Amino acid sequence: MAESVLNIESLSIEYPISIGTVRAVRDVSIELHAGEALGLVGESGCGKSTLGLSILKLLRPPGRITGGRILFRGVDVLAMRRRHLLRFRGNDVAMVFQNPLTSLNPLVRIDRQFLETIRIHRPGISTGDALALAERILVDLGLEAKRLYDYPHQLSGGMRQRIMIGLGLVLDPEVIVADEPTTSLDVIVEAGFIDLLNRLRKKYRPAILLITHNLGMVAEIADRIAVMYAGVIVENGSAEQVFYEPLHPYTYGLINCVPNINLEQEKLVTMPGRPPDLVAVPPGCPFADRCPHVFNTCRSTPPPLLDVRGSRRVACHLYESSEVAPWRS
């Protein structure tokens, strides 16, 4: 297996608010290997963006890290001083945000936005070389080089999202954190975007942390999947394993909710119930209230993330006595 570039170790993040403390990320560990794409999936509010933002030390107030470490090639990101951090962001790890309209400055032409990004990290570069670099990236992204001289409002949503990816890739970072990169796109543009991302992966070989609700997109891109629920990782495995043989009852429920065009389905399947309030996390398994397999221990003791069948991990008490998923036995 490729060397690991990013290690998140036992990370916990909270948001103190007026009614209590939102425990958004609880004791999460994730490893990202060079060149691989890891899909981080889970329902809304389970802590995915909080985790993604923390990797670049971009947590929004009042978010604070209360435990754990983030290591980039062994270097402690949380201990980085401002200058080191500025170099790290963009050069080593880049972030592609959800909404390109709010992430691009509407008053500034695209070439200026590229120049600003490039010059922070390559202070000696000439304007001509920087623009040539930006034009090359645009062409790689399937855009005409002249689009570099447009304002964001002159571009379609799909083009703006490509520009966001370009701004992420232009410094050739080792890791890209992409948070819901296709949410603002329609399905046709989204399909083109997925093809593009897969082509760019082959050329630039960044590791990608792909944060999304969209299991279809994860299936097209990710090598591995981490499933998050109520601030914790409940399952982790290769994309194939997780899709074809989900172990955690929550993962099974999520995959079951994806409409299958090969089956005659009269109505959409949904998962009953809602995730728990992260201000008052239950003492046992956070999925207990929605789980069809719940038993007494689940209500009192949080399940540890167990190694199952060598390469997989699952946080569910069922696997303490058996390695067979309950719906398969």
Environment class of 217 (CB within 10 Å of its CB; exposed 0-12, middle 13-18, buried 19+):
buried
Among 55, 56, 291, 308, binds ligand SF4 (CB under 6 A): 291
Residue 293 contacts which entry, ligand ATP, ligand SF4, Mg ion, none (Cβ below 5-8 A, type-dependent): ligand SF4
Tokens of 206: 């960044």
H or E segment to which residue 95 belongs: strand 93-96
Binding site for Mg ion (CB under 5 A): 49
Smallest separation (angstroms) from ligand ATP to the CB of 47: 4
Smallest separation (angstroms) from ligand ATP to the CB of 177: 12
DSSP string across 245-285: S--SHHHHHHHHTS--TTS--SS-----S-PPPTTS--SS-
Smallest separation (angstroms) from Mg ion to the CB of 48: 5
Tokens of 93: 């790890």
Contact flag: residue 298 with ligand SF4 (CB under 6 A): yes
DSSP letter for 308, please.
Answer: E
CA distance 321 to 329: 13
Q: Which residues from 207-226 bind ligand ATP, rule CB under 6 A?
A: 213
Tokens of 247: 């172990």
Which of these segments, 76-84, 125-133, 213-221, 288-296, binds ligand SF4 (CB under 6 A)? 288-296
CA distance 276 to 201: 36
Among 15, 114, 252, 287, binds ligand SF4 (CB under 6 A): 287
Q: Toward Mg ion, which CB reaches closer, 57 or 213?
A: 213
Contact flag: residue 303 with ligand SF4 (CB under 6 A): yes
Among 35, 45, 157, 276, binds ligand ATP (CB under 6 A): 45
Q: In which residue are the tokens 């170790």 written?
A: 9
Tokens of 52: 């993604």
**Which residues lie near ligand ATP (CB under 6 A)?**
15, 17, 22, 24, 42, 44-50, 60, 63, 213, 278
Residue ranges binding ligand SF4 (CB under 6 A): 249, 285, 287-288, 291, 293-294, 298, 303, 316-318
